[in-house]
């Protein structure tokens, strides 16, 4: 693993303080508050540590309650709600300074066969051919292992509220399905809510914009490898009342729908 990817894996590893009680370090990405993806990934990690490894996370639904402090650790309290015959349910509360900043429910399921279908992966230029696509560009964060290949449909007034991009974590990772789920939860918070800004010509860095995630839902459909390119197809069917709603479909390069997301957030423009 690269040093940056190793640091991210360690960030999601957590320290077990007591039964059903964990502590995670925080990272400062230069945002006004703690990055929501960190809390998503760590909360899923905490829940998974209390579940039989034969069952894997298939859904997570969470609410962001207060801005987190990127310079303080986060404590995760897991409530073992139910261990059923087919499904396991956990509730996780993330705490800083004695107050909850986030809570979520996560559900786990064993392997079963059954009816199957999926939506078709949208047409998108392959990652190794994007040099010929107008407006396409690669985005990296210094010292961070994630890469984004934007397909050129960025914020422009009057455009449809849609974004598509490829993303991956650069470096080698162990073949651990749970770890790849934590990392997908972490990565899924990038770019999703800002899809609601696209038709208004507003960018994330606009000084008038106050933006924050209010909730986040994630469904895992297949095991996934996050260090290979994944296509994130996002749209925003609605925005209003200083809130925006966005949803996303994540496909692997073979065209399998590996995960789905949905998020509502604050998108307030100040004078």
DSSP secondary structure of 219-251: EE-S---TTS-EEEEEEEEEEETTEEEEEEEEE
Residue 134: what pLDDT?
A: 67
* Parts of the chain with a pLDDT under 50: none
What's the number of domains the chain is made of? 1
Element containing residue 187 per DSSP (H, E): helix 177-187
Residue 200: what pLDDT?
A: 92
Q: Measured between alpha carbons, how far is 90 from 110 in angstroms, rounded to an integer? A: 15
Q: Does residue 189 have an active-site annotation?
A: yes
Distance between start and end Cα atoms, the chain:
45
Determine, yes or no, domain membership for 67: yes
Segments forming the whole domain that contains residue 21? 3-110+134-269
Tokens of 240: 């209003």
Residue 128: what pLDDT?
A: 86
pLDDT digit string (tens) for 205-238? 899 999 999 999 999 999 999 999 999 999 999 9
Determine, yes or no, domain membership for 177: yes
Residue from 189, 249, 252, 260 carrying the catalytic annotation: 189
Residue from 26, 59, 107, 213 carrying the catalytic annotation: 213
Determine, yes or no, domain membership for 169: yes
Q: Does residue 213 have an active-site annotation?
A: yes
């Amino acid at each position: 693993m690269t040093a940056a990817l190793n640091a991210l894996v360690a960030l999601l590893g957590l320290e077990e303080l007591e039964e059903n009680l964990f502590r995670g370090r925080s990272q400062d990405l230069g945002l006004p508050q703690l990055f929501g993806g960190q809390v998503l990934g760590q909360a899923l990690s905490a829940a998974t540590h209390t579940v039989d490894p034969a069952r894997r996370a298939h859904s997570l639904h969470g609410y962001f309650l207060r801005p987190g402090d990127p310079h303080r650790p986060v404590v995760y309290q897991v409530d073992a709600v139910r261990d059923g015959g087919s499904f396991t349910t956990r509730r996780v509360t993330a705490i800083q300074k004695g107050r909850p900043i986030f809570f979520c429910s996560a559900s786990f399921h064993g392997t079963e066969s059954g009816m199957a279908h999926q939506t078709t992966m949208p047409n998108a230029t392959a990652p190794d051919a994007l040099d010929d696509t107008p407006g396409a560009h690669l985005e990296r964060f210094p010292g961070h292992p994630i890469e984004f290949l934007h397909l050129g449909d960025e914020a422009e007034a009057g455009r449809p509220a849609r974004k598509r991009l490829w993303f991956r974590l650069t470096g080698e990772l162990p073949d651990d399905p749970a770890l790849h789920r934590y990392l997908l939860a972490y990565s899924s918070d990038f770019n999703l809510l800002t899809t609601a800004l696209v038709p208004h010509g507003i960018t994330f860095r606009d000084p008038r914009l106050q933006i924050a995630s209010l909730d986040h839902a994630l469904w895992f459909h297949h095991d996934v490898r996050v260090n290979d390119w994944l296509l994130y197809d996002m749209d925003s069917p609605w925005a209003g009342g200083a809130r925006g709603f966005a949803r996303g479909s994540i496909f692997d390069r073979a065209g399998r729908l590996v995960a789905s997301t949905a998020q509502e957030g604050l998108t307030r423009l100040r004078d």
